[in-house]
Structure 1
């Protein structure tokens, strides 16, 4: 049981924040969560869970409830303007390479599963962010956007790529953001007429790509990725401008693009953001630590940001407990255990970005060749683990 520095304010109720609260409760800490959104956000794109992601979900004891909400995709395919398959492979290739430890789940469903474990045991304040903060030898005094002032022993920024805590404590986002040259957008609708069950379908042109997948209860999700250099100046909350930008880039393409853009026009819940990494020389300062995307976003295209958020929360909670609340020792150990691993994941993600949405016709042809090679058993068995990256080694592994 922790005996010092027990009161911990966590900013962010996505995946990183509730994951940390889940572990802190186990060790007798007293977490409080604030979230700038007015309610829990359960939307978002599909994420794949494998390797470290599968390991960490299992370590949280959440494998069964997560898998109940998960999807098993039987195939991935890329199509041409007439909907004919040009490349693809079966999901069995990945499952065999990963010994069956692989599934996909909407980001919001994973977040909801974690949140449900702490919602009745932790104070959670919605529609609230930090206006200002002061830390000293006794703790952290925060003034919230609601006007309330409160004192905590520690402050954890788990508030994503555009972290308010990071800005207050470490400086402007521009110092740490590494833009990878792409914009990603995602949304979910009901009743889209074209469905390929258990299949991830993508259509690409040089520098842009649309993907769709069928979900339960007649829903369909879409992911749109486009190359943009320089980074476009579209306001974070300007829904009309975001939709206009997507129309401008995709409107003349074939396949189902016009139908998908028509569905885009109906949605009020659109994820739209730069594909960026956060690279910082350190993640902690005094009584403040950053967690998940706020500290080391690998980028959406890496496909493992949620897993790394859960991993960081796990390591941070373990170190706080091991240090008996001695935050200076715990924070140092947290960085020492994770930094090298996360830098390698970021480097791999940056290399992968160009192959996810190639900018040229030759790049698309090469991507299709590699995808089709996955169907050759020996090549697929060799390529899959290398494409899916390094696993984190927990103590005792």
Structure 2
């Protein structure tokens, strides 16, 4: 079949994080005559982000993208996780590949950079920064898209891949479908880099105090910095802290001040971490949340990755896997009129996969970040027992069969 007889597919992807560029890559590997625009609200690729992990079938996707070696060369070098007592001594330790530190642990910015490099040189993929969608109008044959920059274009397909706080979600799904879909889990987190010291090891250090407060450090591949995390966990899901909410409305300086108020006297390396935070130029703060929607598709538009199903701890894996499946189901179309059915197949296939991971572990994150000294002692005892007995290795894991990828008809790029 010649290129001129192949179905033409003009696609807009909103979001140049993980899911969007990964989808662009796999769409470019279909037999379709694709024209793909990846739109990013930020004026430049985002250079920041926390350590993320790649597990299960997403590892196989990375291998098929011929990126495994590049990912391994950019891992954070983390060797394991150490939980600390109030005095800063290790009370429980878990090694690489155990319950906490994954074999493929990489900074978000590094993984985004690899996906960008894999796609930006493709002739049928274009990246546009500093713009965003303001309206969508669907017809039987296309989606008419208006942009903040003033342009208006028709697309065969629009994909929302702009994260858990997605702006395009409200343009794709109606209010009823979106009702109560953004579910706070009662935690505020700040991410930033601080200078590395000679005494720092290649471990994830996890330090807690009562009232749900915590500090963490994690290694970077970069020998001059480490990642630092500040956390405040509320007693229950859905709760908000008025002081944090006000600070998040006021900007970075106010956010750093509120973290000082909560953590200045916390102990361990609080002084060093907060001093580093004051100088950090990559500070970022967010509310921890899940996204749960009754549907991900609407006609010729679809949500992907965190915009559709933000899932704590395994979001990156699901974003990569879902991009592969969406592109695969679209690869089967015979004409653009088949797009809504292809999106329906994607949702049917991937909901069965996502259903296994959509719920948080019982009591998380509140049990992991207790409010009282008694609760913290109980958690520490459970961690100590788990680390000594390795009992967590007896828990059921995803079977090898469920980790296999669906096979689709791909072409070389």
Task: Tell me if TM exceeds 0.5.
Answer: yes
**Residue 174 of structure 1: CA displacement?**
5.9
Residue equivalent to 2:181: 176
Residues 318 and 92 of structure 1, relative CA distance in 2, 3 Å threshold: closer
Partner deviation per Cα, 1:344-368 (whole Å, 9 max, x = no partner): 3121357532333233333323332
2:77 and 2:219 in contact (8 A); partners too: no
**Tell me, what secondary structure is at the counterpart of 2:141?**
coil
**Tell me, what secondary structure is at the counterpart of 1:323?**
coil
Residue equivalent to 2:138: 135
Q: TM-score, normalised by structure 1?
A: 0.89
Residue equivalent to 1:322: 332
Residue equivalent to 1:370: 382
**Residue 327 of structure 1: CA displacement?**
1.0
Query: Whole-Å Cα distance in 1 between the matches of residues 90 and 193 of structure 2?
Result: 24
**Residue 312 of structure 1: CA displacement?**
0.9
Residue equivalent to 2:10: 7
Residues 349 and 290 of structure 1, relative CA distance in 2, 3 Å threshold: farther
2:184 and 2:288 in contact (8 A); partners too: yes
Match of 1:395 among 380, 383, 406: 406
Query: Whole-Å Cα distance in 2 between the matches of residues 52 and 226 of structure 1?
Result: 32
Residue equivalent to 2:411: none
1:277 and 1:296 in contact (8 A); partners too: yes
Partner deviation per Cα, 1:304-336 (whole Å, 9 max, x = no partner): 211111111001000000233521121111111
Query: Whole-Å Cα distance in 2 between the matches of residues 391 and 205 of structure 1?
Result: 39
Q: Please give the residue correspondences for 1:1-397 in structure 2 after superposition, counting only pairs within 5 Å.
A: 3-4=6-7, 6-27=9-30, 28=32, 29-91=34-96, 93=98, 102-121=103-122, 122-171=125-174, 175-189=180-194, 191-193=195-197, 195-206=199-210, 207-215=212-220, 216-228=222-234, 229-230=239-240, 232=242, 233-234=245-246, 235=248, 238-298=251-311, 302-324=312-334, 325=336, 326-349=338-361, 351-376=363-388, 379-383=391-395, 386=397, 392-395=403-406
Q: TM-score, normalised by structure 2?
A: 0.86
Partner deviation per Cα, 1:22-75 (whole Å, 9 max, x = no partner): 000011422101100010013111112232332332243321111110134323
2:51 and 2:76 in contact (8 A); partners too: no
Where does structure 2 lack aligned partners over 5 or more consecutive residues? 408-413
**Residue 223 of structure 1: CA displacement?**
1.7
- Tell me how large the CA RMSD over aligned residues is: 2.7
Task: Report the more deviating stretch, 276-285 or 134-143.
Answer: 134-143
